[in-house]
Structure 1
Amino acid sequence: MKICIVGGVAGGAGAATKLRRLDEQAEIILFEKGEDISYANCGLPYYIGGEIKQKEALLVTPPALLRKRFRIDVRTSSEVTQIHPQEKVIQIRNHLTGESYTETYDKLVLSPGASPKKFSIEGIDLPGIFTVRNVRNTLEIDEYIQKNQVNSCVVAGGGFIGVEMAENLRLRGMEVTLVEFTNQIMAPLDREMANILHQEIISKGVNLKLGTGVSKLESQSDHSLIVSLTDQSQIHCGMVVLAMGVTPENGLAQQAGLKLSVGNSIQVNEFFQTSNPDIYAVGDAIAVTHGVSGEEALISLAGPANRQGRSVAANVLGQHQTNGKIAYGSSVVKVFDLIAASVGLNEKQLAKSNQNYLKTYVHPFSHATYYPGATQISMKMLFAPDGKILGAQAVGAENVEKQIDVIATVMKFGGTVYDLEELELCYAPPFNSAKSPVNMLGFTAANILKGEMPVFYAEQIPQIDQENSIFVDVSTPPEVLMGTIPNAINIPLDELRERLSELDPNKKIYVTCRVGLRGNIATRILLQHGFDVYNLSGGYKTYRLVNTTFSQENP
């Protein structure tokens, strides 16, 4: 069997090597229009920042290794320009020689990936304006900075690449402005969780401009650039990095008459077959099935792409594997000294889908607080009335991705918030608490579902009837001096039982503390004394995150 593979990064290279492990006799040809295969896309910003010192480290598998060890015919700088499905022929252009030629195939695997979005912005093709997609782009940025002694940059886009580039350019000593068109960076997070990252970015000296886009780019005689923004301001800088998202590479699929799916991605079935049964597709160019919503979605992540490559290799040879077709969007990003991770759907997405959901916030520590060095993790979980976990987000300095990995695993196997309560996770003071952060999410969510902890949320406070309500902060007086919710009276938790007479039993009682734990205890006391009472999920810490608004420009 002759198998041609288009695209030599995660999905394509993975498919090629798995094919060889399954079939020693197959003829495998791997085409890559760039110079490199199997490179570390996710590591590119860290080369710019100097965390990765050698460019060779970005090349996971050199072509020579695939040729010798796996007997794969690797052809770099070779772009497949056309597919003739009826004849099972592809047309290739060699960018080194200019030659064009054809190859036949029995099965064809498309792994073209996704390309950076480029909007209709005047001056977008000027020198000094870059996107980050491959090793060559990265080396060009590095060379441009050194050659032109660039000391300032505008990064447009607050997604994974934009945030990582902003961080690494700042660590390189440059003045950096991060521009994001929406009101937050990192779309997988909800805004209150992203606010923690906003604070971190600003504290590290990055000028963060939210709700702002790039409208025009101009070049100056000294090779510097003027970036005009939608808020009518201008920034002078030495270079611009455009990181405004990616779009599926679907040109070949369209030309071949293959059906497309959401976001103009390539439509595939559960076995990664396109609308032509002899043509398969994997990676960022295809739509997957979201594990929570069950709907087609674009999830551009390396993990699913690698698994898809393995599955498609088996399917080309007659098996029926689906690994990688269902994805939950587990992701993590480093933002200076913080880590942010998420899985599943966020609240913005659930609200748009009109799905009935509940939520809980907790702010536990990364390990036992009596062991030195514990740091706080802010966590949010969304769940259905039957306990199904719909999504989770976490931000903190350490052990963040561990919590989301555990939740992602529970979601994969159909678990609920009640399973989080019962999880037995490793515990020793340097590593975890006896009640792990994941357990805490399970406890609070289960308490809400059982009716043991009626809750209210920070964004609901303005709509609460003030005349028929009492807000009570059960924190200590010194803590309350540092801030509390509007109109709250202070009754410390340890005085609550003796001061019940100060509360009108005919009014609703809304309780808060710092992070929700003492509020839970107070709520349980008041419930058992006949009060109609609700606890602020996540406490005053979450209230501040919800009600923090960043100006368009933060020096």
Structure 2
Amino acid sequence: MEKIIIVGAVGGGATSAGQLRFYNKNAIIKIFDRDTVMSYAACGTPYAIGEVIEDEESLLMANPEQFKEKRNIEVHLKHEVTGIDRKEKRIRVKNLETGEQFLESYDKLILSPGGTAVMPDIKGAQTADIFRLRSYNDMLAIKEYIQSHKPQSCTISGAGFIGLEMAENIKELGIDVHLIHKSDYIMSILDEDISREIEKELLLNEVHLQTNAYITEIDQRTQTLSNGDRLETDFIIMSIGLAPNVGLAKDAGLEIGTTGGIMTNDYMQTNDPSIYAIGDATENFDLVTGEPKRVPLAWPAHRQAYIAAKHINGEPIEKKGLLGTSVLKIFNLTVAMTGLNENTLRNLEIPSVSIVHNGNSNAGYYPDHGKLKLKVHYNPDSRKLYGAQCLGTKGVDKRIDVIATAIYAGLTIDDLQALELCYAPPYSSPKDPVNMVGYKADKKK
């Protein structure tokens, strides 16, 4: 009887366990995680802090008892895997409550260790109330602080996904927000013109934004910035990046890629065929360029969990490259993206042309319509699609979903003209914005 051990009980780890049990009713499946909860919706934590989600426990998708009762899967929380003996095919585990250590054998091992929110080494950091948001317990700590201390102001360092979601949710609680970002413009994975529109939305909602700045020193409520400015706020949220948790893999001699993630083959196997790696800590490849790529988002983790489970079950499905398709809400705006942006195309010296369509989300005469900006990059010769970004108040996500599908299918910019997309006045126009981009590109042949 095959024994499968999984390290990590969130996202990819819990999903892979469920998939394995679905395809194999007899395998012994055990999960170990050092956290106190499992299988929670990490992407919902900013909205629980902002009280958009009123019951934070609704983010908990399952517990060990349910996994045991419904799936016959053992989940051991507060248990940290501290080492892997590849030769003997066993792991070393520490019970964080009792201090007990023991060995657990495996036939197959799946690593889903996730990542850790980066905490920079800043002079005086220990004197301030500083939080990171990476886990369910991080969320509880921030909520408890806000409820007990009634802060009036907050500094958020880093304007990526988490930083922007936290800026909105903290502001909606009536707390004054200062958002600082090290680069010239926020959300560096976007094109600059799209990013600047988001900056305007932040300012309209009275978020104090400073770019080209970062915290160099902290003295209780005072933060000194790299540009010489000083901020006085009650607490700080650090969201400057995510470091993949690869220590366990590295110590075991598993290969680490150029992006800092665990290297895997087409079936999520590491250089040890008995060990698989999935989720935020893994290195994959870009669907368009084939270059190494690490995408710490929910969709890749869940897809990789399925691929690993199918391979273990003897039904191999090759992974495909990643586009990094994602979407973000910022107050009244939504921005979504897929594929390559201008900076990446420029840095890789890939010839490209961009088409921008400014229009409506749906029929302009229909009372419920919004403005929308759709920008698509493509190759001027082959007409191959490289990537797209969309910004607006309505219908943004579905346009990027269509283009992500088109890139996956190998369609060209001209094929966008011919896509027969849904139309009724509340939803679109006879020529959808995606169609319009294709028609506009016809003029650039």
Question: What TM-score, normalized to structure 2?
Answer: 0.98
Look up the equivalent residue of 1:339 and give its one-letter code: T
Q: Distance in 2 between matches of 1:271 and 1:154?
A: 42
1:126-275 alignment to 2 at 5 Å? 126-219=127-220, 225-275=221-271
Alignment partner of 1:262: what SS?
coil
Q: CA deviation at 1:62?
A: 2.2
Say whether the 8 Å CA contact 1:38–1:61 is kept in structure 2: yes
User: What's the CA shift for 1:124?
Assistant: 3.2
Quick one: which amino acid aligns to residue 95 of structure 1? L
Displacement, 1:127?
4.8
State how 1:251-400 maps to structure 2 within 5 Å. Answer: 251-323=247-319, 325-385=320-380, 386-400=382-396
For structure 2, list consecutive stretches of 5 or more residues without a partner in the other structure: none
Contact 2:128 2:219 survives alignment (8 Å):
no
Matched, 1:85 2:99: no
Query: How far apart are the structure 1 equivalents of 2:425 and 2:269?
Result: 49
Q: Deviations over 1:323-370 (max 9, x none)?
A: 4x4211100000001000000010011000001111111101000111
> Quick one: distance in 1 between partners of 2:189 and 2:260?
21
Equivalent residue, structure 1, for 2:421: 425
Letter in 1 for 2:125: I
Q: Is 1:102 aligned with 2:98?
A: no
- Rg larger in structure: 1
**Are the counterparts in 2 of residues 128 and 144 from structure 1 also a CA contact under 8 Å?**
no
Q: Structure 2 counterpart of 1:373, which letter?
A: D
What code does the residue aligned with 2:143 have?
A: D
Distance in 2 of aligned mates of 1:126 and 1:72: 44
Aligned partner of residue 364 in structure 1, secondary structure: strand
Report the number of matched residues: 443
- Counterpart AA for 1:320: P
1:263 deviation in Å?
A: 2.3
Confirm or deny: 8 A CA contact 1:262 1:298 kept in the other structure.
Answer: no
In the alignment, residue 11 of structure 1 is paired with which amino acid? G
Amino acid paired to 1:173: G
- The alpha-carbon deviation at position 125 of structure 1 amounts to 4.1
Cα deviation for residue 126 of structure 1 reads 4.2
Deviation at 1:429, TM superposition (A): 0.5
The 3-state SS of whatever aligns with 1:340 is: strand
CA drift at 1:88: 0.6
Contact 1:388-1:417 at 8 Å conserved across structures: yes
Determine helix, strand or coil for the equivalent of 2:441: helix
The verdict on how the C-alpha distance between 1:378 and 1:331 changes in structure 2, with shifts beyond 3 A counting, is: same
Deviations 1:157-184, CA, capped at 9 Å, x for gaps: 0000000001100000000000000011
Question: For residues 311 and 29 of structure 2, what CA distance do their matches in structure 1 show?
Answer: 15
Does the C-alpha gap of structure 1 residues 136 and 126 become closer, same or farther in structure 2, counting only changes over 3 Å? Answer: farther
1:319 Cα deviation from its structure 2 partner: 2.6
CA contact (8 A) 2:295 2:324 kept: yes
Distance in 2, matches of 1:399 and 1:187, equals: 23
The AA in structure 2 aligned to 1:277 is: P
Q: Percent identity?
A: 38
Structure 2: which amino acid aligns with 1:218?
A: D
Q: How many angstroms apart in 1 are the aligned matches of 2:229 and 2:317?
A: 53
| Runs (5+) with no aligned partner, structure 1 | 220-224, 451-555
**8 Å Cα contact 1:283-1:308 kept in structure 2:** yes
Of 398, 404, 408, 2:400 maps to 404
Residue 19 of structure 1 is matched in structure 2 by 20
Q: Which amino acid aligns with 1:270?
A: D
Secondary structure of the equivalent of 2:66? helix
8 Å Cα contact 2:361-2:369 kept in structure 1: yes
Q: Please, what TM-score do these two structures have when normalized by structure 1?
A: 0.79
- Residues 257-301 of structure 1 deviation map (CA, whole Å, 9 limit, x = unaligned): 111102221011111110111000000100111111111111111
